[in-house]
Amino acid sequence: MDLYSVSSGALLIAFILYLVATFFFGGAIRQNKSERHQKTKAGTIGLVITIIGFASQLVYFITRWMLTGHAPVSNLFEFTTFLGMSMIFAFIIIYIYYKTAFLGVFALPLATIIIAYASMFSTGAAPLVPSLQSNWLHVHVTTVALGQGILFISFVAGLMYLIRQIDQTKLTFRNAMLEVVIYCIFLFIGFIAITSIFNALSYQATFEVEMDGQAVTAEYQLPPIAAPKDSTLLSENVMNPWFEAPAWMQGDEAGRKLNTVIWSFFAGTIIYGIAFLISRKRIGKRLHPLVKGVKPDMLDEIMYRSVAIGFPVFTLGGLIFAAIWAQLAWGRFWGWDPKEVWALITWFFYAAFLHLRLSRGWHGEKSGWLAVVGFAIIMFNLIVVNLILASLHSYA
């Protein structure tokens, strides 16, 4: 068996084990619904399975590194997979300390969605472009992902806090906004579902695109709603595009990336609608009974501690190490690249989070909303900047 098969198999095993562990954490909630420390047999089994899954994902990481000869964080598949692994690692540490199964019921499914999201991109191992051939790849990118993985726990705790504390009996602006957050999670699921379906069907549409006076091809794995700018459809018996990508979206892959985002919205909205019809309630209202037994002050504490730890880690990776590498690779510490700008926005936001909490007393629901918005900024950087905006960091 070759290293690629071992690596892919280990990642799949980890994904399955995380899902299995989620059910055990759910069982732990039913065993013990109200205690702060929920050390139950089901919770212990869930933790053990999660650790085994993490070990399997570590096997994926090591074998992938052996296969490529560099840290596997150089494209969107590798980075997002490592981000998912960082989320799991942060969850394991938090669970060992707090022993709350409620967190496992929310954190593990969301982390597995991130890992599944990664698998929708090209999993091929390719040589590094010259600007990435540096040991700073290992330091900068892995530290960023680890910091974001820890900040993910603040998002999970914040989301749980809001579902727990906001009155779900009537529709207000606050729970409408909470429902929007949940709807965005369904967009991830929609992307995974629609991409999996058309990959299974081996769907492909090819365009010829004029780039700098040369003709290049762009291949779509989803039916083309948005075509590349100034392109010609070469494939027959496929859907005709509805419109072209705007001119400001540069690159031969810009249209394909926009097309992917549009399909994700379509599929995610349909799946959300189906879930709403089946539950006959807003999803937030349906989830409320799952968190009734958890103590709000514990969730508030987890939010704060996650940001207090994750923020300095992200600062090291996203600003300090990034600036050093940018100087070595491009001859400047800062260049207002979209990825750099959004990393700075992320840093300012979490700095404001800590400032508002420590000096203005923003605890509880205010911190919950800040934790949710902060991670939304991280996801915007991961998805929109990579899939839509032209950037020096768009290696995917």
Pairing of the two strands 226-227 and 243-244: parallel
**Which has more confidence, 270 or 40?**
270
pLDDT at 7 over 70: yes
- CA 14/CA 159 separation, integer angstroms: 25
Task: Specify which of 99-113, 346-360, 379-393 reaches the highest per-range mean pLDDT.
Answer: 346-360
β-partners of residue 206 are 219
- CA 340/CA 381 separation, integer angstroms: 9
- CA 78/CA 75 separation, integer angstroms: 5
pLDDT at 35 over 50: no
pLDDT digits (tens, 9 = 90+) for 246-266: 877 766 677 787 888 899 999
pLDDT at 57 over 80: yes
β-partners of residue 233 are 207
Q: How are strands ordered across the β-sheet holding 231-233?
A: 214-220, 205-211, 231-233
pTM for the predicted model, two decimal places:
0.86
pLDDT at 87 over 60: yes
pLDDT at 101 over 80: yes
Of 224, 194, 191, 229, nearest to 206 (Cα)? 224
Helix H segments across the chain? 3-31, 41-68, 76-98, 101-119, 136, 142-165, 173-200, 254-279, 283-287, 296-315, 322-330, 338-360, 365-387
> Per-residue DSSP letters for 164-221?
HHS--SS--HHHHHHHHHHHHHHHHHHHHHHHHHHHHTT--EEEEEEETTEEEEEEES
Q: SS3 for 226?
A: strand
Percent of the chain with pLDDT over 90: 36
